[in-house]
Chains A and B, each alone.
Chain A
Amino acid sequence: MRKFIKHNFRLFVIASSAIFVLMIVWTVFGTRHTIVQPIEYNHKIHVEEADLICIDCHLSVETMSSAMIPNIEICQECHSDEPFTDSPEEIKLLKYIEEEEHIPWQKIYSVPDHVYFSHRRHVSIGDLECSNCHGNVEELESPAPYPSWEPTMDNCIDCHKQYKVTFDCLSCHR
């Protein structure tokens, strides 16, 4: 082995460096970067303890194209003054509420502006479950770091194929 290395050392160097570079590239691009939310929102508790359902907070999910990410105006309907739990996250929330500043939620599901996606169409007309695209959020103890389902055109088309609904470009593109 050593003999081999000694004999064609150059090749060895090249090969090893190549492998090294590959590893770097892998680590940088391979892992999809995660999104950190300002508040470690816990869906599970809200669904199970406070037995809320999605539409209680995502108000417009059945009526409009965007489902709406709830913000303090909606949170404060329950979280008014003293915290229910002793979780630091709730303290954060209350802080936001009393300072009346909006929670800078990070959007993780988004489509480009030349695509028309309507929750109303999919949820109230198409009778899809939220989980079809968003995974079972009820089980999440902390906000999803990345979309459970990438809203790319291919994925859309696959699903549309599966449900035998329109492929017409104009039905999504505008």
Chain B
Amino acid sequence: MPKWAMVIDLDKCTGCGDCIAACKLENNIAIVSPEEANDGRVMFWMDMITIYEGEYPNIRVKRFPKPCFHCDNPPCTKVCPVNATYKNEEGLIGQIYHRCIGCRYCMVACPYTAKVFNWLEPEWPDEFKNCFNPDVSLRMMGVVEKCSFCAHRLLKVKEDADSDEREILDNEYLPACSESCPANAIDFGDLENKESRVYNLSRSSRAYREMEDLGTEPKVIYLQKRE
């Protein structure tokens, strides 16, 4: 049983923000009205965190993309009263929009604030409705959503693999962000598979995870050189 994980190499990442756009496009994420955005209700599944370290003029700006970390020991799934968010055997944290009652407990419980909520009914002009990604269902008002590691792609990749009776290749199943990262900073693959790039990278000396002390065991691993 594979265990999907993402490795983000911050030494390579320039912080161009392409992953955000790719994600929004791939997953039909609603674009809230300017007023809503002003109230802090923007919906990014992939967000960009910026940290400023040091004193002027020797500032180090650390910028890193933040998807859902798909923790191995997720705090969010435990608290969901209706099993709308859960961890499947491949380690993906699923979010079932049609079961969610919108109590937002999972958002509160997530230490990484990886989840976003549909405060209003998501709306698009009819023209944009043409270019929805047919593989991803639209969310409705009042449900929580989050990065799914583009699980809809996995469905198809699995089908391809099964139909010609083979394992899923390394780099065959990639989320939109890692696929179009101009810096090749985002690697994605199977942690169980000893040959996969992700497995080897996750064992590099530069590897670390956000807030390991919480014991959530994120499956998004950052690589950065320690000074």
Contact = CB atoms under 8 A, between A and B. Distances in A.
A51 interface: no
Given A125-B162, A168-B89, A170-B88, A116 B97 contact: no
Contacts of B154: 170
Contact of A113 (B89, B96, B138, B159): B138
Nearest to B154: A170
B147 interface: no
Contacts of B88: 168-170
A173 B94 contact: yes
A116 B163 contact: no
B98 A114 contact: yes
Contact of A125 (B97, B135, B151, B159): B159
B151 A113 contact: no
Interface in B164-200: none
What is the size category of the interface that chain B forms with chain A?
20 to 34
Interface in A77-122: 112-114, 116, 118, 120-121
Nearest to B152: A174
A124 interface: yes
Contacts of B155: 116, 118, 171, 174
B42 to A, nearest CB: 23
B151 A170 contact: yes
Given A113-B138, A174-B137, A174-B151, A125 B94 contact: no
Contacts of B163: 120, 124-125
Contacts, number: 43
A168 B155 CA distance: 12
A170 B154 CA distance: 10
A173 B94 CA distance: 9
A174 B167 CA distance: 22
Nearest to A173: B96
B136 interface: yes
B85 to A, nearest CB: 10
Interface string A133-174: 000000000000000000000000000000000001111011
A156 B162 CA distance: 20
Nearest to A174: B152
B208 interface: no
A67 B87 CA distance: 31
A148 to B, nearest CB: 25
Interface in B35-90: 86, 88-89
A145 to B, nearest CB: 29
A121 B135 contact: no
B19 interface: no
B164 to A, nearest CB: 10
Interface of A: 112-114, 116, 118, 120-121, 124-125, 168-171, 173-174
Interface of B: 86, 88-89, 92, 94, 96-98, 135-138, 148, 151-152, 154-155, 159, 162-163
30 contacts: A112-B137, A113-B138, A114-B97, A114-B98, A114-B137, A116-B152, A118-B155, A118-B159, A120-B159, A120-B163, A121-B162, A124-B163, A125-B159, A125-B162, A168-B88, A169-B94, A169-B96, A170-B88, A170-B92, A170-B94, A170-B148, A170-B151, A170-B154, A173-B94, A173-B96, A173-B98, A174-B135, A174-B136, A174-B152, A174-B155
